[in-house]
Amino acid sequence: MAIEWAGSPPELLLPLDRDAAGTLRSQLETGLRDAICTGRLKAGERLPSSRELARQLGVSRGLVQECYGQLTAEGYLCTRTGSATRVAPVRVHREEEAGDGLRPAPRLRVDFASGVPDLASFPRGDWCWAQREVARTAPNDALGYGDPRGAEPLRDVLAGHLRRVRAAVAEPGDIVVCAGFAQGLNIVLRVLARRGVRRVAFEDPGYGDGATMAAAERAGVEAVPVPVDDLGLDVGALDASGARAVVVTPAHQWPTGVVLAPERRRALADWACERDALVIEDDYDAEFRYDREPVGSVQGLAPGRVLGLGTVSKSLAPAVRLGWILCPPALTRAVAEEKRLDDRGSPVLDQLALAALIESGRYGRHLRHMRPVYAARRAALVDALARHAPEVRLTGLDAGFHAVAHLPEGADERHVVAEARKRSVGLYGMSTYRASGAAEPPQLVLGFGDLGETAVRDGIREVAGLLVC
């Protein structure tokens, strides 16, 4: 979509070489033509007036008018009486058109993507209130760079929240605010690498987008997969791996959905203490539980051995880009320094707004509102599969807003995913999240956080025939 600039369009960078053999008009025409063909100037975008562009470039207005006229005749520009000269719709040529993985995929009618909350339910009114309140009351010294650990008011309320809700051992001084899980993990891995950790274990299946493995590679540590079973992370296999740190999602394992069993939680804490190792606890999906009582964080069992990572990406929205690292006291200084070197600290005004949201009770009210919403969508998924594909078993339903669908033996997971996309339904195979990439046993990870109940039912009905073949 073309930008509609208020007032005059901004300056347009079109270098002219007055010592070159070509004429200035030829250079200007070539520069504009290239800017349009490569997408620098978008279709419908308004160009400066001939007078303004002539002033910017230090050439005559007549030269610019002649250039505009030529490009209009060639179909690159369009003019209309009483309106500005604009870029005409032309094909944009890009070297990476063969596919670089960065452009959006074709739009799906129903997308069972996981890890995405209900974006339409973001509490806009409460967020606006919090931002206004902060802008009105924040002292002047809060507007500087501040403490690299983060704004003190946010660290204070986060510590209280984690103590009450997650049974964590949390002090404000040991919390470092970051820009979500990805940055938090990157910081922690770099700190551990500098302290001699060379091997870090990750759950298998686990994060499948490659970002976690890439973070380990950038930090200079070896990433080793450790299996997950019906009780969660296999701590015996972890001990045999030789890792000195492990990344876990004990509250609702990503992506299998299992909860780390009590005996495994204690064994994990014991492993960290006995092996002089560290646990990096991603508190994924801890806010939304349905059929069982909430479980406390592993950090509460061994606070000197666990780094707790949390975010509001699932409870509010990924766009907020705020999270935190709850550090063992011995690592706080190193983590805070790594954060300072990264970006001098996360946006302070947003931190203060989040603090106001939590302290006012509005954050808790939003969570209480969303729990029955997600529970209803979960029920719609269960009902739709029972009705249209009863052979498919669901697990991982205790928390969060994704579940695992176990396809019948002999089903071709990759074929199901590909055929569903042809029907404009996004399905995602477990093979994506396995270290080996194996598609056996055939399973699907079904997210329902950003889907209404009707969309859940429609999507399952559309692909039901694929699931049972």
The CATH code belonging to domain 110-119+365-467 is: 3.90.1150.10
186: number of Cβ within 10 Å = 21
Candidates 429, 434, 437; CA nearest to 411 is 429
Strands (E), 82-169: 86-87, 110-111
Under 8 Å between Cβ of 427 and 463: yes
Q: For 182-234, what is each residue's pLDDT tens digit?
A: 999 999 999 999 999 999 999 999 976 566 778 888 899 999 999 999 999 99
Write out the two tokens for 420. Answer: 């569903």
Per-residue pLDDT band at 102 (split at 50, 70, 90): very low
The CATH code belonging to domain 129-361 is: 3.40.640.10
Beta-carbon-side half-sphere exposure of residue 206 (alpha carbons within 13 Å): 23
Write out the two tokens for 427. Answer: 């399905």
Answer whether residue 414 shows pLDDT above 60: yes
Element at 415 (helix H, strand E) = helix 413-422
Q: How far apart are the first and last CA of the chain?
A: 43
Count Cβ neighbours within 10 Å for each residue of 291-312 and write b for 16 or more, e otherwise: eeeebebbbbbbbebbbbbbbb
Considering the domain delimited by 24-98, tell me its CATH architecture.
Orthogonal Bundle (1.10)
Cα angle value 196/199/202 (rounded, 5°): 135
Per-residue pLDDT band at 98 (split at 50, 70, 90): very low
Residue with tokens 């978008």: 42
Sketch the domain layout of the chain as residue ranges.
Answer: 24-98, 110-119+365-467, 129-361
Under 8 Å between Cβ of 40 and 33: no
Q: For 39-48, what is each residue's pLDDT tens digit?
A: 888 888 888 8
Amino acid at 68: Y
What pTM was estimated for this model as a whole?
0.81
Q: Which pLDDT score is estimated for 101?
A: 47
Query: For residue 211, what is the DSSP state?
Result: H
Under 8 Å between Cβ of 219 and 192: yes
Q: Which pLDDT score is estimated for 311?
A: 95
Please give the average per-residue pLDDT across 85-97, as a whole number: 65
